Structure 1
Amino acid sequence: MQRVKNIFRLVHLSSWVLFTFLVGLQLHTDGQSYWLPLTIWFLVTCLYVFYSHFYLLTRYLGKNKKRAYFLRLAGIVLTGPLPFVFFHPKKLNTWDLFFEYYAMVLISIVPIFLFLSWLARVTENLVLNTIKKEQLEKQAAEAELHYLKSQINPHFLFNTLNNIHTLVYKQAPTAPEAVLRLASLMRYMIYESNAPTVPLTREMNYLQDYMGLQQLRYRMSPVVELEINGDPTSCQIAPLLFIHLLENAYKHSPARLGPGDIKVKVEIKTDSLTFHIQNPIGKHQNKVIEEPGGIGWPNVQKRLHLLYPGRHRIEIENSGETFGVRLEINGTHAPIHERETHLLHH
């Protein structure tokens, strides 16, 4: 905001310097022997009218104080020509000559600079108010993103602690390993996921850690078949974006899963990323995506809308036996702060 105000000040200064040069050049070209003092007092008159009205508008523009405004405006109009006529190099020693020059400035100069000051004030207010509005919208969007991300930790922790509780209750030997894996996951969530984007490789490592934690519940080969096509090191992604989709795949699958029943495929192309996940549907699953009161799936949708407006596409696949989600995101090779400028326009 301060930078914009400084730009306006520079525009004011540049405009007045250019205006002074043109007036002085014109008077000098006309052969005026006293062109320099005439230029100075003409400029002083213009500055007085312009900035008196400019700051008057600052105080009263858009406020219900019309009477006070017009009284002060009348004062500016009546006193506007005085610097020019009082200090005119040509001695105005008669009332007729004095009022002639006074009326000339009052009619020809004062209205022009009153209008220009109004135009300048309205333009500055419009620009500054637009910037303020955009900043407030951006702050609101960032606050909502922060809120959505803050929901992830307790939601994830609640589900994982339930799983660890089951292992401890059964006195499973894998319980200590589960605690260590949870600590690793929480370290990423607390310390590394605060950045706007993270490398896709780090996010995939996080998902694989989560898969390893869930795998402790199963005695057979890995129940998740993970396939990554493309170069994940070239891709940046918003952190903690896929974890809910993976959680839902576990939660809404049958209690007993065979090797590779849950399929995760990540495909990286030029400036785009496709994340596809598919799981078998458990019996009596009326709501496959999210249980009543769940926050995972709506959370993903809101974050996608805020972070990738117009740059993502979600496809739901439900065959009755399997359920899949295909998420395509464009612009994954650009830093997130460049994409956040789009938040204000969506």
Structure 2
Amino acid sequence: MQRVKKIFRLVHLFVWLLFTSLVSLQLRTDDPSIWLPLTTGFILTCLYVFYSHFYLLTLHSGQKRNREYFQKLAAIFFTGPLPFVILHPKTSGTWDLFLGYYPVSLLTMVPIFLFLSWLARVTETLVLNTIRKEQLEKQAAETELHYLKSQINPHFLFNTLNNIHTLVYKQAPTAPEAVLRLASLMRYMIYESNAPTVPLTREINYLQDYIGLQQLRYKNSPVVDLAIDGTPETCEIAPLLLIHLLENAYKHSPARLEPGAIKVRVEIKADSLTFQIQNPNGTHQKKMEVEEPGGIGLTNVQKRLQLQYPEQHRLEIHNTGETFGVNLEINGTHAHVHERETQLLHH
């Protein structure tokens, strides 16, 4: 905000210097003998009228025009021509001079610069209010985005801790690996996900840690078939975005899953990312929505996509009754091109 105000001050300075130069050049051409006092009086009158009214409008900004405002405006209006009349070189101070130049100045210069000062004040107020509104919208969007990212399904954490406790109690050889996966997962959620974007490789590692911990619930072969096509190192993505789709796939699948029942496909192209996931529908739940408190649903993903990838994504949902699928395509994910700050404009 201070930077914008500084720019306005520089604009004022530049305009007045340019205006003074043009006036002095014209008056010097007309009459070289009196151009300096004439220019001084004219510019002082313009400055006085302009900035007196400008300050008056600033003083009464956001208020209804009351009696005090109009009294001060009248004072500016009638005293505005005085610098020009006083400094005029021809028989200054005489009554004839006053009667000759005062009405002319009163009816020409004063109204013009009163209007220009009002126009400048309105323009600056409009620009500053627009910037303030955008800043407030950005803060609100950042707060909402932080809230959406911080939503963690407590059931997953509780179940994972219980599963690790069981492994430790049984002294299973997979217990240390499970602890490391949980530590990596929590570190990513708490520390690494604060950036607007992260390397896709890190997000995929996070998904793999999540899959590994979920696999503790199943005794058979891995129930998730994860395939990656392309080079993840060339992409960046908003953190903690894909995990919600994977979490919902687990939540709404049957209790018993065959190996490879949940299919996850990641495809990286020149400047886009496609994420596809498909899971069998559970017999007790046909809708892909989280209804339990603290859960993460597709609404979360949709809101984040609107905030972070406006007009740069496509989200398709397919429900055949037996299977549920989500196809997400995000454009502008190339690591060397995609150096974005979070986009928080309203669309």
TM-score by length of 2: 0.92
**Match in the other structure for 2:178:** 178
Residue 275 of structure 1 deviates from its aligned partner by 0.6
The answer for unaligned runs of 5 or more in structure 2 is none
Q: Aligned residue for 1:231?
A: 231
- In structure 1, the partner of 2:21 is 21
State whether structure 2 residue 261 is matched by structure 1 residue 253.
Answer: no
Conserved? CA contact 1:254–1:282, under 8 Å: yes
1:110-259 matches, within 5 Å, as: 110-152=110-152, 155=153, 157-166=154-163, 168-169=165-166, 171-172=169-170, 173=172, 174-259=174-259
Match of 1:309 in 2: 310
CA distance in 2, matches of 1:327, 1:112: 59
Cα contact 1:271–1:331 (8 A) shared by 2: yes
1:164/1:175 contact within 8 Å kept? no
- Following TM superposition, by how much is the alpha carbon of 1:328 offset from its aligned partner in structure 2, in angstroms? 1.3
Deviation (angstroms), 1:175:
4.2
Distance 2:262 2:286 in 1: 19
Indicate conservation of the 8 Å contact 2:85/2:101, yes or no.
Answer: yes
> Structure 1 residues 244 and 198, CA, compared in 2 at 3 Å: closer, same or farther?
same
Give the whole-Å Cα distance in 2 for the aligned partners of 1:228 and 1:151.
Answer: 27
- Look up the SS of the partner of 1:345 in the other structure: coil
Cα offset, 1:212, TM superposition: 1.2
Secondary structure of 2:226's match? strand
Distance in 1 of aligned mates of 2:72 and 2:235: 62
Secondary structure of the equivalent of 1:160?
Answer: helix
Counterpart amino acid of residue 127 in structure 2? V
SS in 2 for 1:239: coil
Cα drift, residue 336 of structure 1: 5.8
CA shift, 1:166, in A, is 4.3
Contact 1:164 1:178 in 2 (8 A): no
Distance 1:94 1:36 in 2: 20
Q: Could you report, residue by residue, the CA deviation over 1:103-132 in whole angstroms, capped at 9, with x for unpaired residues?
A: 111111111111111111111111111111
TM-score for the superposition, normalised by structure 1? 0.93
Give, in whole Å, the separation in 2 of the partners of 1:166 and 1:62.
Answer: 62
| Match in the other structure for 2:328 | 327
Deviation at 1:77, TM superposition (A): 0.7
Partner SS for 1:244: helix
Instruction: Report if the CA contact (8 A) 1:263-1:277 is conserved.
Output: yes
Q: 2: distance between equivalents of 1:92 and 1:160?
A: 89
Letter in 2 for 1:239: P
Q: Tell me how many residue pairs correspond in the alignment.
A: 341
Structure 2 counterpart of 1:319, one-letter code? T
Name the SS of the counterpart of 1:39 in structure 2.
helix
Which residue of structure 2 lines up, in the alignment, with residue 274 of structure 1?
A: 274
Give the Å deviation of 1:294. Answer: 5.2
**What CA distance in whole angstroms lies between the structure 1 residues aligned with 2:281 and 2:57?**
67
Is the Cα contact below 8 Å between 1:277 and 1:324 reproduced in 2? yes
Alignment of 1:32-181 (within 5 A): 32-152=32-152, 155=153, 157-166=154-163, 168-169=165-166, 171-172=169-170, 173=172, 174-181=174-181
SS in 1 for 2:315: strand
Letter in 1 for 2:305: L
- 1:71 and 1:107 mapped to 2: Cα distance? 18
- 1:184-212: per-residue Cα shift (whole Å, max 9, x none)? 11011111111110011110011011111
> What amino acid sits opposite 1:326 in the alignment?
N
Long gaps (5+) in structure 1: none
Deviation at 1:96, TM superposition (A): 2.1
**Stretch deviating more after TM superposition (71-80 or 25-34):** 25-34
The counterpart of 1:337, out of the listed 330, 334, 340, is 340
Residues 32-69 of structure 1, C-alpha deviations (whole Å, 9 max, x = no match): 30111211121111100110001101111431242111
CA distance in 2, matches of 1:243, 1:168: 24
1:138-165, Cα deviation, whole Å (9 max, x unpaired) = 111111101111223xx2x541322331
Deviation (angstroms), 1:167: 5.3
